[in-house]
Structure 1
């Protein structure tokens, strides 16, 4: 639990505590002992006739911080300014943080140390390096040679816990390739050209002549973009050699 205060425009996970006609008091789940308030005007777009049609006690949701009065400790929040995508992302991030905190507790038990000692020895370093502790666990689960420069029992404990409890992430990008050929063996030429773009993590599927769907899965967007670029380049060069016209369009 954080002991500081959120900043304006931050997204925060909250639990509804008390609903009144003019607004709702909430508990900020990520901040120790902190509460906020959602005015009825910030509950939903349009006119809210019955606030309880939108909020109920015990409900968990995501709000945007409008204003923080640090002297009084007042935090004004908005529900209507958070879209569905932002809500999903924030809830997922919060759940991951909860999970990583539990994994750190397990690590502390196995190392016969307190959580504070683990924070000082390695958790603080991992947060600084990866941004969040959960991302450190993801890397530990995915990398064959994780943090080769680091030694110590804690490293092996983290790797083991990560491999047992964390699924390595991946991202997916892609688009469509339209391929044409007027040659008698045009289909064979198109197939040969498309095959040059297939590699690890790359899939090409027929999507109705003359379109083919290309999908790339990788650990992050930077790697996926580079893989996609290389695949399209290989297909384009092979198409020219085979007298095939191939055009790529990025999926929206």
Structure 2
């Protein structure tokens, strides 16, 4: 993943454990073409080792510090016990970036029918030298392509440059995080349904340009509050504010709000399951022949219609 064939002494690297022996553990350095290294038994832990299998497992990825490098013989000695929590965080971040760059370069190599080893010197190495990491250069190229691709040493033809730009745009453009909270809203007073609708509308009005709020009916009295934002913390904060507004309004009408599940980021699979459930309930309602033509959704941008 990097121009240097071997890591430097005191550098922290990401490794994968291949086997465990009496002297220690044999590992592959994932960022350096899977060359072999060894974590010495004495460098596994600061504490007394009672069972090596409790400290390290075959197949697991670990962050290690480089102790010695013999470039002629290819020997690399590593330490796990000298790695700090800060080292782990920094190495994880660098490795994640390097994997993203590697993925883009591999896809580009396939598209251009060339070897990756031919593309790296023409694209990645110059970017690493100028920007510190090719990933940061790739991200910057989305908004400043001219500034990035004018880097000395870059050598790509027009077609390759276009394919590379397309790959970067597809893989590195930030995606909005989807946030969801599960609510139970009830009101058994005379204005019950109207009070629930009014309270949910209050929540939807907490929408912002960066995080629009929607409330969807699952099945009375269960609702889901949804939003999406570029930053997870922003989306969660907006949804929490919406829940407070819903609670204040429904309690004023002598109803009740119970937060079944607090706001959290959801995956594409979670969203798929929710949509599937909504479709199933909608079909069941049609079979029963309900008398409401609502959409079962509240937004901060339009009329309020809830199937109840």
Other-structure match for 1:161: 167
Match status 1:77 vs 2:74: no
C-alpha separation in 2, matches of 1:35 and 1:117: 24
3-state secondary structure, aligned to 2:100: helix
**CA displacement 1:161-210 (0-9 Å, x = unmatched):** 22221146xxxxxxxxxxxxxxxxxxxxxxxxxxxxxxxxxxxxxxxxxx
Q: How does 1:180-195 map to 2 (within 5 A)?
A: none
Query: 1:139 matched to which residue of 2?
Result: 140
Asked whether the equivalents of residues 21 and 50 of structure 1 are also in contact (C-alpha less than 8 Å), the reply is: no
How many residue pairs were aligned? Answer: 168
Residue 115 of structure 1: aligned partner: 116
What secondary structure is seen at the aligned counterpart in 1 of 2:38? strand
* Deviation, structure 1 residue 62: 0.7
The structure having more radius of gyration, on CA atoms, is 2
Q: TM-score, normalised by structure 1?
A: 0.57
3-state DSSP class of the match of 1:134? helix
Distance 1:66 1:148 in 2: 37
1:15-64 deviation digits (Å, cap 9, x = unpaired): 11222344212121222352222122211122111111111111111100
Alignment map for 1:12-51 (pairs within 5 Å): 12-32=13-33, 34-51=35-52
> Contact 2:11–2:65 at 8 Å: present in 1 too?
yes
Q: Corresponding residue for 1:53?
A: 54
Matched-pair contact (CA < 8 Å) for 2:25–2:40: yes
| Offset, 1:126 | 2.5
Name whichever of 92-101 and 153-162 sits farther off.
153-162
CA apart distance, 1:118: 3.4
- Give the C-alpha shift of residue 96 in structure 1: 1.7
Using structure 2 for the length normalisation, give the TM-score. 0.47
Q: Distance in 2 between matches of 1:26 and 1:88?
A: 20
Per-residue deviation, residues 64-112 of structure 1 (Å, max 9, x unmatched): 0111233332221110111122112212211221221221232344456
Q: Aligned pair in 2 of structure 1 residues 16, 101: CA closer, same or farther (>3 Å)?
A: same
Partner of 1:232: none
Query: What is the Cα-based RMSD across aligned positions, in Å?
Result: 2.8
How far does the alpha carbon of each residue in 1:110-145 deviate from its partner, in whole angstroms, 9 at most, with x for none?
A: 456543453454444333322222122111134376
